[in-house]
Amino acid sequence: MNNESEPPDIPSQVVCQVKGASGATQRSNENAQGVVEVVSVERPAAYGLTELIRKWRSLIDADGGSAAETNAILYDSQLIEIPYAGAGRASVAKIRRHSFPWGRAIMFLTTGYTQGPTGDTPVNSDSLQFIVQGFTNDGRYAVSCHFGIRQPRLPESADDKKLKGKVIFNWDKEDKEAAKWLDTQADDSFEPTPERYETFLESLRIEPPGRR
């Protein structure tokens, strides 16, 4: 914080870690784990968020917008998440929008985040993430989630040596091809499925402090 007359450097937030359920498929980084962040956006101008929030709300509410247009905003334009993710978003796939009891969100898969070239790294399940960006109905909070998700047909990790029968995409050169392929995979082929994460998000209760 600067001083009592100025806003804090970052909005107030609550961060929750999500771990895989007992019996769920596990891998090197514990599949089905992730982070849920709930961030106050009650004073967007104080944090320079006004235009960013407008863009995300427009994207979330664009039920009639094409997947190609949405993908261009998320991938080509790299629309910044709230709170900020400190690396560039890789390929974007499986875009979906959903209304929850607490608000609305857009959700999608990304093959990961990177700050530069990764060499010959293959797109893999370790790097695959299910991303959620939404806002509460009262407009007071942004909700951002990064969840682990696995696609069994991809290599397990960047160092996976058992590649027989796996689908290989070069992370740097074939990210758009990877996104097209992921879009064609059935939802129930992912572990956990996107629907399981939606069910979890349905159970969230987001209220201002002091309310019960």
Cβ proximity of 9 and 177 under 8 Å: no
- Residue-level length of the chain: 212
Across 194-205, average pLDDT: 94
* Structure confidence at residue 162 (pLDDT): 86
Nearest to 157 by CA among 165, 146, 168: 168
pLDDT grade for 26, boundaries at 50, 70 and 90? very low
56-70, 99-113, 120-134, 137-151 — which is least confidently predicted?
A: 56-70
Q: Is pLDDT above 90 for 79? A: yes
Residue with tokens 């070069």: 170
Secondary structure of 162-182 in the HEC alphabet?
CCCCCCCCECCCCHHHHHHHH
The predicted-structure confidence for 1-13, as pLDDT tens digits, reads as follows 334 444 445 568 8
Written as six digits, the tokens of 67 are 């997947």
Model pLDDT, residue 141: 94
Q: Six-digit token pair at 155?
A: 């290599």
pLDDT digits (tens, 9 = 90+) for 126-158: 999 999 999 999 999 999 999 999 999 999 998
Return d(Cα 189, Cα 21) in angstroms, integer: 18
Domain ranges of the chain: 13-202
